[in-house]
Amino acid sequence: MKIPWSRPDISEEDVRRVSESVRTTWVSGGEYIEKFSSELGEFLKTSNVALVSNGTAALSAVFLHIGLEPDDEVIVPAYGFMAAANVLLQMRALPVFVDVEGDSWCLDLNDLRKKLSERTRAVVVTHTYGNTSQLKQICELVRKESSAVIIEDAAEALGSQLEGSFLGTIGDFGTFSFHATKVVTTGEGGAITWRDDSHSERLRLLISHGLDRKSHYLHQLPGNNFRLSNICAALGYSQLQRLAIFIEKRLEIDALYRSHLSTIEGQHIEFQKLASSSIVPWSFPIRIAPAIDRDSVLRQLSSNGIETRPGFVAPNRLSYFQSTEGSHPVSETLSKSILSLPAFPSLSGEEVKVISEVVKNILLNS
């Protein structure tokens, strides 16, 4: 591809930090774990941060921490990456899918109200493409009507804010990803945040074999190994020094796309409605008009050397979720009509213009 869908921004300083971590021989634990964790907490304005091996491990640790049992119900969005729902099935819990809004493409408050019950143990709010919906109202509803905990899946939303608070720090727990495509990368990696200090000891034990480190091999509980390596943390710490630049570039790219594609908005495409001007777009998704074959557009862009991604696949189209009751019309429509365009910090303004022109040419001739 001439223009990939995503490309991590790796600097010489990133390479130096990683090399340094290897040369110290502290390749598993080490000082970069503390440095990365501390600076991430300072950025998010919370002292409750734990680094883990990936975003799915973060969700798994939180589910273990709250004591999910077989047949417990957990609400998850029907549109978005399926990490949370997949982990729930592995734990023999029951994912209860809630539809998303037609404009934000994030969890729908009204459908949530219908699905919330006394059996609900947790509500996972996924900030898809870095965006959110009525998060404050969702938190108010859940806390008023149930004893469920609120877990923000902020894997795609590092840096996004709502009313002065960072996404991932508003609910009871937040989970983040540092995958190669994310705002900050460690290759694979993730983090957990939590509001209440009382969760700290148990969560930290769960992600490190249940060991308190005060004596060798004295397990306090049946934990797992969800730890991040010092090598990965060195890359994350170095990347974090450029987070403000990454955010600025993603905002610029989002604005450029919206400007270039504004002439076909409405009739041919729809943009995602962002919750605030402080949302940091992880990708640039567009919703293709129903009369146009999204997959044909994807193929034509590929033939022009532009790599894209389709929308996330709704659970009704995944065989292992087909027994799930109910339909989710908005999610099912988005699954067939969303096309995600390249959006990464090193993407140039000229490349955004080229991509936009190719998109317009394809859609105007469809």
Using alpha carbons, select from 40, 341, 312 the residue that is nearest to residue 175: 40
SS3 207: coil
pLDDT recorded at residue 202: 97
| Predicted model pTM | 0.96
What does the pLDDT look like over 187-209, one tens digit per residue?
999 999 999 999 999 999 999 99
Confidence class for position 223, pLDDT limits 50, 70, 90: very high
CA distance 184 to 177: 8
Q: What domains lie within the chain, and their CATH numbers?
A: 12-240 (3.40.640.10), 243-364 (3.90.1150.10)
What does the pLDDT look like over 270-287, one tens digit per residue?
999 999 999 999 999 999
Confidence class for position 325, pLDDT limits 50, 70, 90: low
Confidence class for position 323, pLDDT limits 50, 70, 90: low
CB atoms within 10 A of CB 351: 16
SS3 273: coil
Question: Alpha carbon 128 to chain centroid distance?
Answer: 6
